[in-house]
A and B are shown apart, each in its own frame.
Chain A
Amino acid sequence: GAGVSQSPSNKVTEKGKDVELRCDPISGHTALYWYRQSLGQGLEFLIYFQGNSAPDKSGLPSDRFSAERTGGSVSTLTIQRTQQEDSAVYLCASRMVGSSYNEQFFGPGTRLTVL
């Protein structure tokens, strides 16, 4: 596709359930980022993947959060035992490493609501 895609666009779940969010980056972009935006807040960095290197997980808020990137392309963000404070828009972005800019191209996001 031409841009970053994310699925589902909306997810409503009950507290305590696990959820998986998916991101398809722009083809050829080797860097992939996950962010979340809680209500009234800016974008909060969660995790970063670059090629085959170990991911930078420094932004993950707890060990209930994990992410994978298979084959250097698609990524899934998993939240286990969801809590109400996990409700947010989860955004994925990809970037062409080696380009002259630190531009990241964002997907439309997944709005997660934990009841």
Chain B
Amino acid sequence: DQQVKQNSPSLSVQEGRISILNCDYTNSMFDYFLWYKKYPAEGPTFLISISSIKDKNEDGRFTVFLNKSAKHLSLHIVPSQPGDSAVYFCAASARGSQGNLIFGKGTKLSVKP
């Protein structure tokens, strides 16, 4: 049973518009959430994270929102750029798990010029 779900395998957005990537989780022990970005033939790179004590974290064009009651988080990219085209993975870490991450299956974002 998947503990971290990214239900949209792909998303296409026009350059300059907002990209919204969604992620749902089932384990209430998760207390830290991360987004990773992956280009083909490269390893994932850390993008942004949020602790369960917060509901929003912002870093430049990237904002992550956490709704604990709904067990839902989202990544907003605004404005989207063609270089943002990649696969985005949502990941979660549980208290006491020594940092082991549970990943979703990823969402492939395509930003069209």
Residue of A whose beta carbon sits closest to that of B92: A102
Do A109 and B43 touch across chains, with their CB atoms under 8 A apart? Answer: yes
Given A42-B105, A103-B34, is A108 in contact with B43 using a C-beta cutoff of 8 Å?
A: yes
Q: How far is the CB of A82 from chain B (nearest CB, A)?
A: 22
The segment from B12-20, B44-52, B68-76, B78-86 found at the interface with A is: B44-52
Let me know if B89 is at the binding interface, CB within 8 A: yes
Do B103 and A43 touch across chains, with their CB atoms under 8 A apart? Answer: yes
Let me know if A26 is at the binding interface, CB within 8 A: no
Pick the contact of A43: B32, B42, B89 (CB < 8 A): B89
How far, in whole Å, are A4 and B42 apart by their CA atoms in the complex?
11
Which of chain B's residues have a CB closer than 8 A to the CB of A109? 41-43
Q: How far is the CB of B59 from chain A (nearest CB, A)?
A: 12
A56, A104, A107, most chain B CB atoms within 10 A = A104
What size tier do the contact residues of chain A reach? Answer: 20 to 34
Do B93 and A106 touch across chains, with their CB atoms under 8 A apart? Answer: no
The number of residue pairs between A and B whose CB atoms lie closer than 8 Å in the complex comes to: 63
Do A95 and B105 touch across chains, with their CB atoms under 8 A apart? Answer: no
Let me know if B77 is at the binding interface, CB within 8 A: no
How far, in whole Å, are A109 and B34 apart by their CA atoms in the complex?
20
Do A50 and B106 touch across chains, with their CB atoms under 8 A apart? Answer: no
Which of chain B's residues have a CB closer than 8 A to the CB of A43? 44, 89, 91, 101, 103
Render A88-114 as a binary contact track against B, CB cut-off 8 A, 1 for contact.
000101010100011111111100000
Render B89-107 as a binary contact track against A, CB cut-off 8 A, 1 for contact.
1010100001111111110
Do A91 and B44 touch across chains, with their CB atoms under 8 A apart? Answer: yes
Do B46 and A105 touch across chains, with their CB atoms under 8 A apart? Answer: yes
User: Which residues does A use to contact B, with CB under 8 Å?
Assistant: 4, 31, 33, 35, 40-45, 48, 50, 56, 59, 91, 93, 95, 97, 101-109
User: Which residues does B use to contact A, with CB under 8 Å?
Assistant: 4, 6, 32, 34, 36, 41-46, 49, 89, 91, 93, 98-106
10 closest Cβ pairs, A-B complex: A106-B43, A42-B103, A43-B103, A42-B105, A102-B99, A103-B46, A102-B93, A106-B44, A108-B43, A107-B43
